[in-house]
Chains A and B, each alone.
Chain A
Amino acid sequence: ELKVEQNPLFLSMQEGKNYTIYCNYSTTSDRLYWYRQDPGKSLESLFVLLSNGAVKQEGRLMASLDTKARLSTLHITAAVHDLSATYFCAVEVGFNKFYFGSGTKLNVKP
């Protein structure tokens, strides 16, 4: 059975600090996605990583993909309170079969 493991599951950090969320998966996949979910809201697409070595950045968030290691990272630089949310990674196996991680709940404290 495919496993998508995120860690940490909970992350409390101070504003201005840096941190990384990790997403490991157990099968071959060339496409990985990161989403943000605010409490009681839907999922918002952050990044689509389509190939090995892909790196994408948007504001204080940067995502990377290493398909050989089956690992993706979401790096947060100089966190601000507005980044508080739950972040999910999702692996696409084949086409249209999506498997989501458990999510990382991020709380950025002022």
Chain B
Amino acid sequence: DAGVIQSPRHEVTEMGQEVTLRCKPISGHDYLFWYRQTMMRGLELLIYFNNNVPIDDSGMPEDRFSAKMPNASFSTLKIQPSEPRDSAVYFCASRQGGAVSYEQYFGPGTRLTVT
């Protein structure tokens, strides 16, 4: 398996624009997570899905952020409108279900810069 795939790897956009980040989890994994990493706040869990259903979005910072998982192999994180304080690295991770393995596997991340 190619691991967790994220695109784009880098995104530069202007304040007010819509940004869409994409993630393809590892095939067969039941859980998908979105994280944000900044110098000020470290690594934060934003939302996670189980079998394509959002389970906990309490970490989503504002209504400007939304996430979807239309099928088992694709998820998006959208920011609309974007603001400079959204600049961060956004990671997607996936995990198998049950007690098979507790490990999370992280994607390479998307570095977002909002000017």
Contact = CB atoms under 8 A, between A and B. Distances in A.
A33 B101 CA distance: 12
Contacts of B33: 96, 98
Interface string A6-49: 00000000000000000000000001010000000111110010
B103 A45 contact: yes
Contact of A96 (B43, B56, B103, B108): B56
A42 B45 contact: no
Interface in B12-43: 31, 33, 42-43
Contacts of A43: 43, 91, 93, 106
Contact of B108 (A42, A98, A100, A102): A42
Interface string B72-100: 00000000000000000001010100000
B31 A96 contact: yes
Contacts of A98: 33, 45, 104
Interface string A79-110: 00000000010101000111111110000000
Interface of B: 31, 33, 42-45, 48, 50, 55-56, 91, 93, 95, 102-109
Given A42-B109, A96-B31, A99-B45, 14 more contacts: A31-B102, A33-B102, A41-B108, A42-B91, A42-B106, A44-B106, A48-B102, A96-B33, A96-B48, A96-B50, A97-B45, A98-B33, A98-B104, A100-B42
